[in-house]
Every structure is written in C-alpha cells, then in structure tokens.
Amino acid sequence: MALAPAAWTELRLAISRLLAIQSEGQQKATPHLHAMATAELFLPVRPGGFVDFFASIQHATNAGSIFRPDAPLLPNYKHVPIGYNGRTSTIMVSGLPVRRPCGQTRPTSMDGPVFGPSQRLDFEAELGIFVGGSNKQGVSIPLRQAWQHIFGFCLLNDWSARDIQRWEARPLGPLLGKAFGTSISCWVTPWEELAAARVDPPPRDPEPLPYLRGPGDQGLDLALEVRLNGEVISRPPGSSLYWTAPQFIAHLTSGGATLRPGDLLGSGTMSGPERNQRGSLLELSWGGTDPLPLADGGTLTYLRDGDELLITASGPGLDGARVELGEVRGQVLPAHTP
C-alpha cells in the first residue's frame, strides 16, 4: 500500500497468473491453498487512521426525518462531505463476534440518564476504502489524483448503539455509541478489479465547490445484500452515494490532514429510496416505530443477542463477470456487565 500504483498492478497480475485455472502457476500454488472454513482469518492491515463519512443522501434524509421531521437534511449536507474520526483499536476482521456495549442513555420517560446495555444495537452496511500512498501534512491531494491514492475496497459494518449515540452525540458527535466495534472484510479488492464498476455520481444541486468537482469524481455501481440469521433483509445500492471516495480524499487533505498507507475510510450507511434498500435497522424499523417484518412471522426493531449479520456485495468486473467483494460477518454477544 505504501508503493506506487504500478506496483499494485504488478502484484495483482502476478497473483492472477499464479491462480489461473489449469496453469503452471496454479499447479505450483495448489499445495499451499487452504479452505477458508479451516483457516483463522486476520485483518488485512491494521489501519492507523479511520474516518467514517455520511455519504448516502438517502440515509441522511431518512435519519434526519426520524429525528428532525421538519428539517431532515441539514444545510451543509450538499456542500461538504460530513464525517467523523473513528476508533481504530476496535476494528476487527469479519467472523469475530461483537459484544453489546454498555453506556449512558436517556429513556424518553426519564429526566436524566441511566447506565446499562444498549437496547438499540444496529448495523450499518458500508463500503470501506483503503488508502495507498501518502501526502505531506498540509499538502492537499487534488480530486483528479485521488484514485492514485485508493488501494482497494472492502465491506464494512459500523456497529452502532443508537440509544447511546443519541444521548452523547450533541454537540461533538458520536463516541461510545460507535467505539465498540467496526467489522471489515478479511481481504481487500484492488480498485483495478472494479474499474468497470465506476459510475458518475448522482446529479448535485448546488454544484460542489471547485476542489470537490471535476475529473476523478466517480462512484461504484455495487449491489449489496444484508442477511440477518440467513434471511435477506436489505439490498442497498452502492451507486446511491452522494459523495464519492475520491471526494473523501480531496476533502480530508484540503484541510491539511495527513493520509498514510493503510488508513481506512468508510462510506457511511448505504441506502436507497425503497424500504428494502435501507442499510440500517434505524431506517428499516423507522427508529423502532415501524418494526421490520421477518419471514418467521416475527418483527424486529434492533439487534438481539445471538443475531448474526452478513453483508456481501458484487460489482461488474473487467471481463464481464461479477467481482465479489470480501464478506463481512459478525454475531452479537451479550453485554459484559461487571
């Protein structure tokens, strides 16, 4: 990731040649291949920095409608990519369980807060972007060069405690409601594998400021699928993002921030206009007021202990086939209470 894009291409092609079906390379590689079901998986890289954005305008509008019906979309949303600095120490690889967090919440029936396990545990279906290369502090990366700093993509589940988040988020944003766990794929899909998936962003009105528009401003046409205990509950469209990964990089560095190889950027929850395209239970159950119907006849508002979430995605590949991104999976464990 610290090397130039030419090195990324060389590595990608070398691995492709090594694994090509019925090739001499595959014959040499086969004795060293192992079934994933019997393997212990690790993070592809330990990110030094993690910034999670809020790039889906549909998600922003849905969340705003739940909490601020009179003003769902804040005035700055169409002008600036909104994000927050997340916690890298609790980023974990797909397959590891996440423990229900404890924290302060304020039930609507009470004047003050209480402490205990979150009752509104949620998932967020996101795209993760791994940074390649770096920049010097105070030196911005222009939008037209941003793709040269995108090493590849993964899937990301930013587990969220909505009741903790709601109580603590003003005025400085989330802390414990987002700090307890973020799950990512165990491998990274190089951006070149998804070159055919690059699409123009949705129409924007008003136009972004000059440093956020122009060549390089492209999103990805991905199809996501979210399964709860094996049942499909959502299919968010990746192309719905209002802000794109290159804009994340251009915006972050425009203010002087330093990016380093292996830093992780999150897209924020991906959501489309239909109910079955919403990328979080906050939206799927409309803040708990309209529970999500399940195939077994039950309903769901937020995650229960023992629930398992699986997020998968694919996009068009260079040869016309679909490219599958690495899945992200995690099961909810009960809270640890001393």
Mind telling me the catalytic residues?
59
Q: Are 178 and 169 in contact (CB under 8 A)?
A: no
Q: How many CA atoms lie within 13 A of 157 on its CB side?
A: 36
From the list 62, 71, 102, the residue with the least C-alpha distance to 280 is 62
Q: Are 123 and 204 in contact (CB under 8 A)?
A: no
- Virtual CA dihedral for 123, 78, 172, 301, nearest 10 degrees? -30
Q: Give pairs for 109-118: CB < 8 Å, separation 24+.
A: 113/167, 116/335, 116/337, 117/334, 117/335, 117/337, 118/161, 118/162, 118/163, 118/164, 118/177, 118/335
With a CB cutoff of 8 Å and minimum separation 6, the contacts of 217 are 143, 200, 201, 244, 246, 247
Q: Determine whether 180 is exposed, middle or buried from the number of CB atoms within 10 Å of its CB (0-12, 13-18, 19+).
A: buried
- Virtual CA dihedral for 298, 302, 305, 309, nearest 10 degrees? 90
Looking up tokens 């993002």 gives 241
Which backbone phi and psi does 211 adopt, to 5 degrees?
Answer: -70, -10
Q: How far apart are CA 248 and CA 110, in angstroms?
A: 40
Q: Are 335 and 304 in contact (CB under 8 A)?
A: no
Which residues is 199 bridged to in the sheet? 219
From the list 138, 84, 81, 85, the residue with the least C-alpha distance to 253 is 138
